[in-house]
Structure 1
């Protein structure tokens, strides 16, 4: 604890004693010494200066109380009253055996500041022998610790008020993580009629074993009329609960409040979950804020926003008499957790997750004009409610053994983008002047290689009927065209241009998402790597959200928007300004429209809505000769009103007839359904 020195306000310096013309020790001198020891919390020495108080009632009590309340910054001061001018001390006053002084005490405690004024009485002790010295000691009582401690029987106690955990809402104030009614299912032993049969029914109805029921009922505290808890379930399952309770007599429930995740798997990776803190986690956190009974965020937004959602426990320091009368000494009001409203739209989140059902992949949806993030989806996923209301061993094992890995958060990870990066490569070439959109390249056949490349060649999915220009290359997704253009523009131009689009830097987003990278070492210092990177292969990796953002200059007259996640963040922030001219914006917008109507994304062509976008296929092969390697399909698309832009990746599309068109169809379905 911090110790502070005495602040001694002395208004009259000394009172002079006349006996034998020697100075007699004065009460304020002894009080000054006592107060100095008090400020140092030297209770042992303090006890030597008090009258008729057992040591354990003094030293032990001071130490325990100060430790329990976590006293800090203690400051004790006193004043010596000035004599009234013109009044002479009477003989009786001169020979007084008691002197009283006003004192002020202040300190910090776990319940906030404590301050009080009191009085301390010094008692004169006559010498036991004629040649002894007069001394002064403190007349002490527990009220000098706190005025509320009027006698030795009054005790210090604490009352805690737990904060309500903050909730997480979407942009329309719909719940992503909310505090709602939950149901504690249990049995009342005396209601059993056919015990064996009814236990079997209960076990099947609520998903516990008969052994678990019997173990709970055999606890030492259980009485026939008591409610014996078995399982807690969220309010989402209330209909099932009502049916079971109505049909099985011993089964009943109690209602309380708990954490609910209404979107379940659809937002599992985004929201994460909050559950009772485990021993390992307890060691990592500030233990002045957490106990082993607290809930803490695991994964996702519950973990990311833990400090804001947690709140601060309220605490009262109280004095309690033998008659149980309570007096508050200090109080820190409870601070409930903060409610957080996201830019996420639950409807978009749910639609994307539903559309990806059965596939592994990721999707990000944004408002490309404002940078607001509307959805972040990873599929497959886990149900966060299961971690709170009973995750069975079989369910956990199923998740662990699932080859699609539902515990992997794909929207926070990076992947090879394939041909969806070609509009970015086009923008770099157009802005640098290395690509003339009207110039056609003579390309023959489906493969091409530069001299000296050995067995390596670039392939394209379709042949051209003449010279290939930029529009044709985008519509047909011609890898050879982009490879040749990359070699022409060179490493420096492509690297600098990709960095203008946010590669090789920290992604500016609230939720931690991996940075997008050009290559393993940040350079494109090999011709094959340079060529491959131009069409999204090589070693390039990026996240679905970053990919979505790279299309925003086409919608915002050249400005690359910054993504935001919370509604109280400023929308419309620009991450990279003027990286695309108006002329090139118009060209690329027209190209993306043609990709859907005449090119590789025809599966996204709908009568009800005009969609623009780009497909991409990322080949994850061990070698060029590998014909069975995994392929991931991409599509980035947006409707004509440009109110939403979706970036989606589906893993293992190599067996789909339409290739990346399979993904384009899914994105178009969501856009169409949201209208």
Structure 2
């Protein structure tokens, strides 16, 4: 009987030991899991899960919640841009009868460098529900912190750098404006009536005003910003502000040239959520470039705000600087642009679709780059009204299109390049006069219904006459004599298919849709600037620089300290001089197409051009007009004028006089 009991007791004892061992193993696994989660969530910056590891009682001692712990960590780590969290020297040990202590070193990597590893400690124990929970303490944020200490982020805000023209005049600057805002307590009993009054006064929908009043902080006697006013808006509101509104002073980006440089300079706006996600250096108050040079050169102009992360006592005394990022001032960028020339050029376009560009060919300095019609970038900085934006976006003349960077068939201005290639190849002989009969011509019957046409009829035509009177038939015949290979070999020396070095977005210039000119008709068309040729006004300006620099190509530059780029020997100096001298007759001859630009005391060379866009021959299409003008004597300036749909909007040479006069007076 005893033996049976002993066996039974033995069985009981063994079973009890197994259960105890299982419980111990399980308990150790749970403890290890808690430690692993603590380390893993910290390394991954998963602060939502990390904050749940702390006991509620320990958080209540600090008047905190799991959510507030999460927000604290996210605010600190995001503000200093922590990219990597490294946990080293991890040690887990018994701490008293019921507690355990986790010690470790924490190393934070930021874009500014690594914050030195510091030693941390975390106490944890098993709760009544069997789970292991950590005890919250302020030194888990930073060692040495006491319960009453605070973590402060101190911003050293820098100003955006200015954009200046060649003479130091501002093209983009920071200027003080008036900002209108609402005081919710002063909107009166009829809030909707007050919002409607504000809406009508500043062209902003009531719905947007209501949205501004939704956040919790807007309840009470506070200033709720609406928009920064431009000079016209401020003037309109100076006698009577809408109910419940007031004005404060705020510094904001300003563009003195307004419409005349809008496409080129661009404008700034507040960063979007996507911007903030992509760039840890940004915050909600830092304007970013939205268009033009403001966007292209944003990093340089914006600089970088300084930031300090400090631990202070309850009184505000600094105990420790944890992190410091030095402020980088926004760079002031000087351009080669001449703001006076830019404004004169824009005014000359008279808000009709077109563009003007001009440069100093020997240096490549871009003096003018303007497009019409345009818009006022200041409206976008201060917050353009829905009605005003709708008018711009629905305008059939496309005011947002930068036409100086948009590609078009260059028309007859391109004959200058064909002439130079033909001269260098020995095919075109300046003194040789080709017999041409009538106003239209075709190679033979294989051309079917296609004819090359010209405007002025004369029985024989030499190179100078062909250039001055822009004879399409002459250049078509010379191109066929050259052949596809000779013309394409010559064009290959020019920057077709290559990106320009300017900080302006545009597609590369192209000769044809395929690598070769597929037939004689396309060869002839290309020779006088049509066919499938596509070039922006800026690309034309670059290529035509060979006539001003002894056959070398000088690429335009816009930023004053940018490197000068030169391609030697694109055409011969002899051919460059010969074509340039022939272009003088376009201005000097009384029947020259640009004679309206003639001055007795100045020798200007020019080439007019038209490119007609139509579905088939013998129909009237849209005609674009171009004017190339060049300082023949001193090579101090050159320019290109483009007029879109010139039958309706006027020829390019009719728009050039004011700019040419300014350049002759100031760059001679």
Q: Give the TM-score range, shorter chain.
A: 0.7 to 0.9
Counterpart pick for 1:626 among 600, 609, 619 = 619
CA RMSD for the aligned pairs? 4.4
Map of 1:513-662 to 2, 5 A cutoff?
A: 513-571=506-564, 573-574=565-566, 576-598=567-589, 599-607=592-600, 609-627=602-620, 629-639=621-631, 640-655=633-648, 659-662=651-654
CA distance in 1, matches of 2:281, 2:302: 9
Mapped pair 1:289 → 2:278: no
- Higher mean C-alpha displacement, 390-399 vs 471-480: 390-399
Mapped pair 1:441 → 2:434: yes
CA distance in 1, matches of 2:213, 2:266: 36
Counterpart pick for 1:456 among 450, 453, 478 = 450
Mapped pair 1:307 → 2:299: yes
Look up the SS of the partner of 1:373 in the other structure.
strand
Mapped pair 1:245 → 2:238: yes
Look up the SS of the partner of 1:398 in the other structure.
helix
Counterpart pick for 1:179 among 159, 167, 174 = 174
CA contact (8 A) 2:348 2:656 kept: no
Give per-residue Cα distances to partners, 1:347-383, cap 9 Å, x unaligned: 1211111111131011211111101111211111111
Look up the SS of the partner of 1:477 in the other structure.
coil
Q: TM-score, normalised by structure 1?
A: 0.75
CA contact (8 A) 1:245 1:252 kept: no
CA contact (8 A) 2:594 2:653 kept: yes
Q: 1:621 to 1:389 in 2, by over 3 A?
A: same
Q: Shift in Å at residue 426 of structure 1?
A: 0.6
Structure 1, unaligned stretches of length 5 or more? 1-36, 45-53, 79-102, 121-139
CA distance in 2, matches of 1:558, 1:345: 26
In the other structure, the counterpart of 2:50 is none
In the other structure, the counterpart of 1:349 is 342
Q: Shift in Å at residue 474 of structure 1?
A: 0.6
Give per-residue Cα distances to partners, 1:125-144, cap 9 Å, x unaligned: xxxxxxxxxxxxxxx99769
Q: Shift in Å at residue 221 of structure 1?
A: 7.6
CA contact (8 A) 2:341 2:663 kept: no
Q: 1:531 to 1:249 in 2, by over 3 A?
A: closer
Mapped pair 1:267 → 2:258: no
Give per-residue Cα distances to partners, 1:383-402, cap 9 Å, x unaligned: 11111223222222222232
CA distance in 2, matches of 1:366, 1:42: 60
Q: Shift in Å at residue 206 of structure 1?
A: 5.1
CA distance in 1, matches of 2:83, 2:535: 52
Mapped pair 1:415 → 2:408: yes
Q: 1:172 to 1:580 in 2, by over 3 A?
A: same
Q: Shift in Å at residue 192 of structure 1?
A: 11
CA contact (8 A) 2:156 2:307 kept: yes
Look up the SS of the partner of 2:474 in the other structure.
helix
- Higher mean C-alpha displacement, 108-117 vs 517-526: 108-117
Q: 1:222 to 1:673 in 2, by over 3 A?
A: farther
Look up the SS of the partner of 1:646 in the other structure.
strand
Q: 1:216 to 1:286 in 2, by over 3 A?
A: closer
In the other structure, the counterpart of 2:127 is none
Look up the SS of the partner of 1:349 in the other structure.
helix
Q: 1:178 to 1:146 in 2, by over 3 A?
A: same
CA contact (8 A) 1:459 1:480 kept: yes
| Residue-pair matches, total | 583
Look up the SS of the partner of 2:531 in the other structure.
coil
Give per-residue Cα distances to partners, 1:123-173, cap 9 Å, x unaligned: xxxxxxxxxxxxxxxxx9976974542x34434443334443232222222
CA contact (8 A) 1:313 1:335 kept: yes
Q: Shift in Å at residue 292 of structure 1?
A: 4.6
CA distance in 1, matches of 2:447, 2:416: 26
Mapped pair 1:114 → 2:109: no
Map of 1:29-48 to 2, 5 A cutoff?
A: 41=39
In the other structure, the counterpart of 1:7 is none
Q: TM-score, normalised by structure 2?
A: 0.76
Counterpart pick for 2:228 among 229, 232, 235 = 232
Mapped pair 1:486 → 2:479: yes
Q: Shift in Å at residue 274 of structure 1?
A: 1.0
Q: Shift in Å at residue 603 of structure 1?
A: 1.8
CA distance in 1, matches of 2:481, 2:238: 74
CA distance in 2, matches of 1:222, 1:258: 23
CA distance in 2, matches of 1:343, 1:307: 20
- Higher mean C-alpha displacement, 502-511 vs 448-457: 502-511
Look up the SS of the partner of 2:341 in the other structure.
helix
Give per-residue Cα distances to partners, 1:614-655, cap 9 Å, x unaligned: 10011111111112x110110011234432211111011125
Map of 1:355-504 to 2, 5 A cutoff?
A: 355-451=348-444, 452-464=446-458, 466-504=459-497
Give per-residue Cα distances to partners, 1:492-531, cap 9 Å, x unaligned: 1111211212123333333222211111223212110000
Give per-residue Cα distances to partners, 1:317-372, cap 9 Å, x unaligned: 22233444333222112223322221122112111111111310112111111011
CA distance in 2, matches of 1:479, 1:41: 78
CA distance in 2, matches of 1:214, 1:416: 48
In the other structure, the counterpart of 1:278 is 272
Look up the SS of the partner of 2:381 in the other structure.
helix
- Higher mean C-alpha displacement, 243-252 vs 424-433: 243-252
CA contact (8 A) 1:184 1:231 kept: yes
Give per-residue Cα distances to partners, 1:74-94, cap 9 Å, x unaligned: 48679xxxxxxxxxxxxxxxx
CA contact (8 A) 1:112 1:330 kept: no
CA contact (8 A) 2:120 2:143 kept: no
Look up the SS of the partner of 1:654 in the other structure.
helix
CA distance in 1, matches of 2:85, 2:223: 49
CA distance in 2, matches of 1:594, 1:326: 78
CA distance in 2, matches of 1:664, 1:64: 61
Look up the SS of the partner of 2:467 in the other structure.
helix
Structure 2, unaligned stretches of length 5 or more? 1-34, 43-56, 91-103, 122-135
CA distance in 1, matches of 2:601, 2:483: 43
Q: 1:442 to 1:666 in 2, by over 3 A?
A: farther
CA distance in 1, matches of 2:201, 2:541: 44
In the other structure, the counterpart of 1:13 is none
CA contact (8 A) 1:592 1:612 kept: yes
